[in-house]
Amino acid sequence: MSAFLHARFLASAARAEEIPPEAGPELAFAGRSNVGKSSAINALANRKRLAFVSRTPGRTRMINFFDLGAAGRIADLPGYGYASAPRSLRATWERLIGGYLAGRGSLAGVVVLMDARRPLAAGDRQFLEWLAPVAAPRLVLLSKSDKLSRSERAAALAHARRALEEAGVAATVMLFSIKDRDSVEAVRELLGRWLRDAVRNRK
Ligand code: GDP
């Protein structure tokens, strides 16, 4: 059975000191606010409200951790891309996320959701730059792909792959929609493999 079906909320961290100690492989989820990150985590876990804990007041700017039983953990990073956010708030965000990404040896993969209708927006590019020193594999999910026609989906996939290649970013790119069960299952399978690989590589 997929590890995601065991997901349980574990903890929230507003500051680096509150990040739980590493324990087994971890998958980080990132993306602009409203890109569909909570919905994606819920779909993977086959739960309606699991990741919406991240939405409760005060938690939108925290890293929320979910336990996947023996398989590992998910770290749901706070959404980025508030261009109008006050500088002090952005600085806090950058300290928290920068510190997390730089120091997390247990990272088995980073999932970056981008809206299939406008992938590689400015905030996305900046986040990918931050990821440059991180060794873990990256999965770019082109979210809400159900909003595109079949030919638009193919074009979006080709465009995103080309843009990432031009930016020198090595990533697996997939179309994703919470309404497309096959895409949910494909992501479960790939991330499940990354979690298992991370354990194997540490032995
Ligand atoms: P977050 O801020 O990144 O966690 O975004 P949410 O998961 O809250 O999603 C933002 C909005 O997009 C909500 O209204 C969701 O219902 C909608 N949404 C999320 N995923 C999909 C999808 O795959 N297809 C469609 N059509 N809408 C989606």
| Res 97 pLDDT > 70 | yes
User: Phi/psi of residue 7, each to 5°?
Assistant: -60, 135
Confirm or reject: Cβ of 73 under 6 Å from ligand 1.
no
CATH topology of domain 3-202: Rossmann fold (3.40.50)
pLDDT at 56: 66
Give this prediction's pTM.
0.95
Please state the rounded mean pLDDT for residues 55-68.
Answer: 81
Instruction: Tell me how far the alpha carbon of residue 202 lies from the centroid of ligand 1, in angstroms.
Output: 35
Measure the CA–CA gap between 132 and 17, rounded to whole angstroms. 24
| Res 76 pLDDT > 70 | yes
Instruction: Tell me how far the alpha carbon of residue 9 lies from the centroid of ligand 1, in angstroms.
Output: 20
Q: pLDDT band at residue 59, thresholds of 50, 70 and 90? A: low
Type of residue found at 139:
L
Domain positions in the chain are: 3-202
Confirm or reject: Cβ of 46 under 6 Å from ligand 1.
no
Retrieve residue 121's tokens. 């927006």
Confirm or reject: Cβ of 33 under 6 Å from ligand 1.
yes
Higher pLDDT, 33 or 159: 159
Q: Locate tokens 């509150």: which residue?
A: 18
